[in-house]
Amino acid sequence: MLQSSLVYNSNYYDGVNLTQMRPRVVAFKTLKTQDGTLIGLFQGNRGARPDIDFVIKILIPGNDKKLRPPTHTFWVVDLLLKIPQFKNEVREIVQYYIDYYGRTTPFASVQDRNDYQLETVEEITTRYAQLEQPYTLSLDYVATIIELFCKNEKINPGAYMFRDLLFTLRDYIDGNKYYMDASNTFNSFNKVAIRFLPFGSSLKKFGCWSASNSAISFATPSFVRVSFFIVSLNSTLRMFLD
């Protein structure tokens, strides 16, 4: 579908900016991905620097779609589904963002945050264009979400949960974590559903991200693996059906 033909819920998008309804707040930055997903950055109010904290919400095409937080289930499952065909490439992407996390720094000011231009997306989408496949998330969506979560966690000194999520993905791909070990790690990120977790909130208080523990069960016997695959795929499809 051509982006020019995409239709969005006018309650949330006016053609330029995303708007949150309760409380009514206009995003200070609105991005659009290749598949038409809109990503809005809204002012946050938590963490060590509430002035530069930000909340991410997404809106997909459709008159009846609602603005919602981007659960990690979506991009985690998307990368995992690509492993059988593109294991080396997925591993490189995860390592790329581990390295990026290590070198990136928090925003210096509100102006610095508001003027921010994505640093990794063009490189990732160019280098790994072969990972773009029908019926999956666009690679620029995956890259944008990971980059923004890296930047956000760096606002809070000592925060580490998103970094550890990247480590867990790498260890699983390398065969250094069995599916059950990885499942336990991801299960710890499910203590609070992402819809109730304000972006940038206290990680220690709220646990962490909402990555489905069923999403990493590719090492199980085939009949169990298929069941987990269906559950995980269903979680991802909910992004487009809700």
Residue 226 predicted with pLDDT over 50? no
136-165 residue pLDDT tens: 999 999 999 999 999 999 999 999 999 999
E strand segments, the chain: 19-20, 25-26, 29-32, 38-43, 54-59
Q: What angle do CA 98, 113, 53 make, to 5 degrees?
A: 80
Whole-number Å distance between alpha carbons of 170 and 161: 14
80-109 residue pLDDT tens: 889 999 999 999 999 999 999 999 999 999
Q: What angle do CA 230, 219, 214 make, to 5 degrees?
A: 40
47 and 27 in contact (C-beta within 8 Å)?
no
Residue by residue, DSSP assigns 108-142 as SSHHHHHT---SSHHHHHHHTGGG--TTS--HHHH
Q: What is the pLDDT of residue 217?
A: 33
Q: What is the pLDDT of residue 215?
A: 34
E strand segments, 54-121: 54-59
Greatest mean pLDDT among 65-79, 183-197, 218-232 lies in: 65-79
Residue 40 predicted with pLDDT over 50? yes
Q: What is the pLDDT of residue 185?
A: 64
Average pLDDT, the chain: 80
- pLDDT band of residue 4 (cuts 50, 70, 90) is low
Q: What is the pLDDT of residue 178?
A: 79
Letter string b/e over residues 140-175, b meaning 16 or more CB atoms within 10 A of that residue's CB: bbbbbbbbbbbbbbbbbeebebbbebbbbbbbbbee
Instruction: Give the rounded percent of residues in the chain with a pLDDT score beyond 70.
Output: 73
Q: What is the pLDDT of residue 72?
A: 82
Domain residue limits, the chain:
3-59, 72-241
170-218 residue pLDDT tens: 999 999 987 777 666 666 654 433 333 333 333 333 333 333 333 333 3
Q: What is the pLDDT of residue 3?
A: 59
Q: Which of 179, 175, 152 lies closest to 48 in space, CA to CA?
A: 152
